[in-house]
Amino acid sequence: MRWSLALICAAMVGCAVGNKPCPDDLESFEAAVHTPVFAKDCVLCHVEGGAAGSTRMVLAPSDAPDRVERDLATVRALAGEVDPNGLPLLLSKPSGQHPAGHGGGRIVQVQGEQWVALEEFVGWSTGSADDCDLDPDLDAICADGAPGPRVLRRLTRAQYDNSVRDLLGVPSSYGASFAADLRVDGFDNDAAALIVSPLLADQLRVAAESLASDAVDSRLDELLPCEPRDGEATCAADFIETFGRRAFRRPLTGEEVGRYHALWRAVRSQDGRFEDGVEWVISSMLQSPHFLYRSELGARQGEGFVLTDYEIATELSYLLWNTTPSDALLDRAARGELSERDTVEAVIVEMWDDERSLAVLPGFVDQWLHLDQLALVTRDPDVYPELTRALRGQMKGEVDRFVAALAAEGGTLEDLLVDKRSFLTRELADHYGVSWEPGPVDLEGFREIDLTGSPYGGLLTQGALMTTHATPTSSSPIHRGVVVRERLLCDDLPPPPPNLDTSPPPVDPSLSTRERFAQHTELAECADCHDRIDGIGFAFEAFDGIGRYRTMDGQHPVDDMGEIKQSPSSDATFQGVDGLAGALLGGDDLQRCYARLWVRYGFGQDHGALTCAADDVAAGHDQGQLPLAEGPLGLLRTRHFTERTGEPGEASVGWLKPGERFDPGEDPDGGGGGDVELTIEINNDWGGGYCADATVDNRSDGSVTWSILHDVGGNISSIWNAKATAEGSMVRLEGDDWNATLAPNEVASFGFCVDRR
C-alpha cells in the first residue's frame, strides 16, 4: 500500500496524496536529509564502484552537478519499502535493525537526529506524514524535554542474579550463564533487545525450579511471614502477598493472589506438604513476566503516562543498586514518597550514599569502554608471558576501585582522566614499574598509591584500557583511537570498506609500531576514517600491548605525538596521553558524550528527545567539570524519570486497583466431614465460562473409588485427570484409572473448563 503511494508520488511532481501536498522541494530535502545523512555517511559506500555500489541505492558522486536531484529520485524510490518487521527500509538498514543486516553496519542511531530526519523524509515521500515539514524540529522537542515511550525492560543477566540473591537469600550464578543478549551500542541493557527467546525461557525454567528448591530447603523459615500450623491456606496467601510484592516490585491484586494460591493448593493437595506448594509458587513467580520485566508503563494522565511510585522505586533501585527494590524502598513507594519531588530527592541522596551504589560507576565504565572484554582478549603468550589471568583480574580491580572512589568523593571527568592516584596490587605496581610502599591492603591486596612522578595517572593510562585495546602481539593505535573516537567523542565509525587488505601490518623489527600503522593512512580509501582514528591512537604509543610504559618500541624511540581531527570541538595536536587528556577536557564533546551514553545505559533506550536531556545535563557544567555521579543522578532530573509517552490505544497498568482481597478458604485437610471432599477453585472466569482446579480428598478410613454428582453451572468443555458425564443438569465427576481409587487421606487433583449455559 505504502509502496504504491510512494511510486505514484515519486513519479509525479507536486502530486497530492489525500489532502496533503508533497511539494518537490529540493532545498528542504538537501538541508534536512541530504546533507546531514546521505551526503555525509551513505555516500561513502553507496556510490558507483563503492562497497555498496551493487545495491539499489547508488548515489551520485559528490562532484555531480545535479547530485541532489538525482539522489532525491534514488532514495524516494526506496522510501515506501519496508522490512519484514514493517520498518521502512531507509530506517531499518542504516540503523542496523534489518534482519538481513546492513553491509555498512550501524550508521544511524535509533531516534537520533539522522533517524528523525529519515523518518520525516519517509513520511513525506509516502504521504503518511501529517504535513510536508521536512525540518525535524529538535529544538522544540528539546525545549519541552519530552520523555521516551513506555517500555517493559527485561532484567539483564546480572540484574537477574542480583535480584534472586536479594529475594531468596541464596546466591545465583544462573543469570551469568543465560543466553547472551543482543548488544546495542556496546550496552547489554537495551530495552528493545532484551527479550525472552526460546532458549532463555528454558534456562529460566531450569534456574527457577532449582533456586526455588534450594530456597525452600535452606531458608523457608526466613521467607515465611507466618506459621503454617496456624492455618496453611491463610499462611500460603500471606506468603504469596509478601513474597509476591518483593518479586513483582508492587502489591499483587486479589486476583493475582488467587492465581498463585490455586497453584499452591493444587501442589499441596497432591504432594501433601505445605512447602511443596510454596516451592512451586516461588518457581512460578521467578518465571513470571511481572518478575522478568521491569514495568515502565505507568498510569494514563492526559495524553501521557506517569510512572507509579512502585515503578519509580524499581527504576531507582536498578539504576543505583542494580537490583530489586528493598522492602524499605517499597514501603516508601506505598506511602507515595517517590512521586513527590521533595521527598524523592532525599531518597536519592540516601541511596547514593549507601555503599550499594559503589558498583554503579564501575558497571557503566565496564561496558562504556568495552573493559568487559579484558578477560577475553587474545594475547600471544610468547610475546606477553607476563599477562596472567590473575594480572588481568587485577587490572580490572584497579579500574573498579578508581572510578568508584572518584564517584563517591565527587570526582569529575577531569579527575577521571588526570588523577594521580590509583589502587594497585604489589604485582600490578611491579608490572607498571611504579614504586610500591608497603602498607595496609584490602582483601584482594590493593592499596591506594600516589603516582606523582610516574607516567601513570588517570583512566587512559590504566592497564585495563591499554590491554583491552591492543593486538595479540603489539599495541594498536587503531584500537585505541577507535575507542576514544566512538566512546569518548561519540563519533561512530563505519566498518572498513571491503575489497581492501585490512590485515594488521606484520611485525617488522625495522619499523616502529607507529611507522607500520602509519602506512595505511596513505591510501586514499582509508584516509578519511583513519584521519579520525590514528592521530588519537598514536598518543598511546608509550604504553605497550599489556599497558607497560616504554620509551623504546623495539629499537625505535617512542613517538607519541597525537592529533584529534574532524571533531566538533576537540581538535588539537598534543603529546602523549597527558596531552590527549588535555585536548579532550578542552572541548565539549567528551562531556556531552559521557552524558549521552549514560542516558543510553541508564534508561535502556535512545529516544531522540532523551539526547536533548543529556545535553542539558552536560551543559550545566564547565568543560570537564561534570561530576561522574551526574551520569546516573542527572537522569533523575529529566522528565523521563517519572513520565512516558504512549499511543491513544494504550492503557494504564492493570494492577492499580488491588481489587477484592483474596479469601484463602479452608485448609486442604482442615474442616471437611463426609467420606470424600470436593474442592473447586476457579482460576479463570471470563463470564461466558470458567476454568477451575479441583481436588477430591478421601477423609474416610478406608479406600474409596470416588464418584461425585455436582452442579458446575454449565457444560464441561474440557476436563483433565478426571472424567465427566452429564446427568440431567448435573455432572458426574469420576477419576481416571490412576486416581479413581484413593487411599485414606489421599487426594486426587483434576481440572476442567465450563461453558455457562
- Of 695-724, which residues contact another protein (CB under 8 A)? 720-721
Which of 326, 373, 569, 741 binds another protein (CB under 8 A)? It is: 373
Q: Pick one of 501, 522, 622, 711: the residue that binds another protein (CB under 8 A).
A: 501
Q: Which of 352, 355, 290, 300 is nearest to 324 (CA)?
A: 290
Q: Which is nearer to another protein, 257 or 580 (CB)?
A: 257
Going by C-beta distance under 8 Å and a sequence separation of 6 or more, which residues neighbour residue 208?
282, 283, 284, 286, 287
Distance, CA of 162 to CA of 173 (rounded, Å): 9
Q: What is the DSSP string of 24-78?
A: --HHHHIIIIIIIIITTTGGGTSBTTSTTTTSS--BPPTT-TTHHHHHHHHHHHH
Identify the three-state secondary structure at position 731. Answer: strand
* Positions 404 through 443 that interact with another protein (CB under 8 A): none
Residues in region 276-295 near another protein by CB under 8 A: 279-280, 283-284, 287-290
Q: Which is nearer to another protein, 1 or 376 (CB)?
A: 376
**Which CB, 269 or 357, lies closer to another protein?**
269
476 φ, ψ to 5°?
Answer: -145, 100
Is residue 637 a contact point for another protein (CB under 8 A)? no
Q: Among 205, 421, 550, 723, which residue interacts with another protein (rule: CB under 8 A)?
A: 205
Torsion 217-323-487-101 (CA) sign: positive
Closest distance of CB 377 from another protein, Å: 7
Which segment (31-39, 136-144, 149-157, 566-574) binds another protein by CB under 8 A? 149-157
Grid coordinates belonging to 169: 537469600
Binding to another protein in span 646-685, by CB under 8 A:
646-647, 650-654, 684
For residue 629, give every residue at least 6 positions away whose Cβ sits within 8 Å of its Cβ, in sequence order, or none: 352, 361, 407, 410
The residue (of 389 and 757) whose beta carbon lies closer to another protein is 389
Smallest distance from another protein to CB 443, Å = 26
Q: In angstroms, what is the minimal distance from the CB of 419 to another protein?
A: 31
d(CA 30, CA 75): 12
Please, what is the minimum distance in Å from the beta carbon of residue 13 to another protein? 28
Residue 344 CB, nearest approach to another protein (Å): 25
Write out the DSSP string of 477-518.
HHHHHHHIIIIIS----PPPPSSS--PPPPP-TTS-HHHHHH
Nearest-angstrom CA–CA distance, 266 and 694: 8
Q: Which of 110, 257, 297, 358 binds another protein (CB under 8 A)?
A: 297
The CB-of-439 to another protein minimum distance in angstroms stands at: 36
**Long-range Cβ pairs for the range 22-29 (8 Å, 24+):** 22/124, 22/125, 22/127, 22/132, 23/132, 25/132, 25/134, 26/68, 26/69, 26/72, 28/134, 28/135, 29/68, 29/72, 29/121, 29/134
Is there binding between residue 260 and another protein (CB under 8 A)?
yes
Shortest gap between Cβ of 509 and another protein (angstroms)?
A: 15
- The residues facing 726 across adjacent strands are 731
* Residue (185 or 232) nearer to another protein, CB: 185
Candidates 47, 142, 192, 351: give the one binding another protein (CB under 8 A): 192
Q: How far is CA 662 from CA 85, 256, 282, 299, 529, in A?
A: 42, 9, 18, 24, 64
Asked whether the beta carbons of 379 and 472 are under 8 A apart, the reply is yes
| Shortest CB 57 distance to another protein, Å | 10
Q: 103 to 122, contacts with another protein by CB under 8 A? A: 103, 105
Cβ closest to another protein, residue 291 vs residue 446: 291
Stretch in the footprint of another protein (CB under 8 A) among 181-189, 314-322, 484-492, 629-637: 181-189
Residue (181 or 677) nearer to another protein, CB = 181
Yes or no: say if 474 and 545 are a contact pair by the CB < 8 Å rule: yes
DSSP bridge pairs for 561: 575
Residue 242 or residue 373: which is nearer to another protein going by CB? 373
Q: Does residue 600 interact with another protein by CB under 8 A?
A: no
- Closer to another protein by CB, 544 or 693: give it: 693
**C-beta of 489: minimal distance to another protein in Å?**
22
Q: CB–CB of 461/368 below 8 Å?
A: no
| Interface region with another protein, contact rule CB under 8 A, candidates 126-134, 229-237, 416-424, 491-499 | 491-499
- Contact status: 500 vs another protein (CB under 8 A): yes
For another protein (CB under 8 A), the number of binding residues is 95
Residue 101 in contact with another protein, rule: CB under 8 A: yes
Pick out residues in 2-21 that bind another protein (CB under 8 A): none
Would you say 515 or 571 has its CB closer to another protein? 515
* Segment interacting with another protein (CB under 8 A) among 70-78, 81-89, 159-167, 527-535: 81-89
Q: Are 582 and 542 in contact (CB under 8 A)?
A: no
Cβ(127)–Cβ(4) below 8 Å: no
Cell of 68: 541532489
Q: Which one of 254, 455, 472, 627 is in contact with another protein (CB under 8 A)?
A: 472
Residue 243 CA to residue 222 CA, distance in Å, equals: 11
| 555 scored as a contact of another protein (CB under 8 A) | no
Instruction: Kindly report the backbone phi and psi dihedral angles of residue 694, in degrees, each rounded to the nearest multiple of 5, phi listed first.
Output: -135, 150
> Closer to another protein at the Cβ: 17 or 77?
77
Question: How many Å apart are CA 395 and CA 387, to the nearest integer?
Answer: 10
CB of 378 to another protein, least distance (A): 4
Q: Give the whole-angstrom CA distance, residue 13 versus residue 27.
A: 15
Check if the beta carbon of residue 616 is closer than 8 Å to that of residue 636: no
CB of 403 to another protein, least distance (A): 22
Rg (CA), the chain: 32
- The verdict on 273 binding another protein (CB under 8 A) reads no
Kindly tell me which residue out of 304, 496, 659, 665 binds another protein, with binding defined by CB under 8 A: 496
In whole angstroms, how close is the CB of 51 to another protein at the nearest point?
6
